[in-house]
Amino acid sequence: MKLEDLPIKDVLVFRWEFAEAKTLDEVEKRFKGYYYIVRPRKDVLVTTTFTSPYVICALLQRDERGGDFLVIQTFAGRYPYEKVFGGAFFYAMRAGIRITDAEYPEDLPKPYFMEPEYKL
């Protein structure tokens, strides 16, 4: 089996808190028309793009403040790790949530939006 035949290329896990959005229902409203949305339970929201669904994002609400955020890239995805990592922050901003515990790998250059003045 070749590496590219495996189903998962990257998985990132973050903690998140509500910011502009106060509920997962509000997050869902922000994403309607932009992503495929699946709500298998009231405390879970899963999204992917309409075209080329290589990256899947899942928000799991653990308490009233926030929860876990998973970003999964399949091997069909063409994005390098640093783009997937950075894209998670853009996704969070659009969702109206704040990522609270990101540890960026030391060996990768930080994107400009990781600087303190760009954080929510």
Specify whether the CB–CB gap between 70 and 11 falls below 8 A: yes
Average pLDDT rounded to a whole number, residues 19-29? 98
Q: Which two tokens stand for residue 83?
A: 């783009």
Tokens 């998973």 correspond to what residue? 70
Q: How far is CA 16 from CA 19, 36, 59, 88, 113, in A?
A: 9, 21, 9, 11, 17
Dist CA 55 CA 73 (whole Å): 4
Dist CA 41 CA 50 (whole Å): 21
Give the domains, in start order, of the chain with CATH numbers. Answer: 3-118 (3.30.310)
Q: What is the pLDDT of residue 8?
A: 85
- The pTM assigned to this predicted structure is 0.82
The SS3 of residue 47 is: strand
pLDDT in tens, 72-117: 998 888 888 888 988 999 999 999 999 998 766 666 555 555 555 5
φ/ψ (deg, to 5) at 42: -65, -20
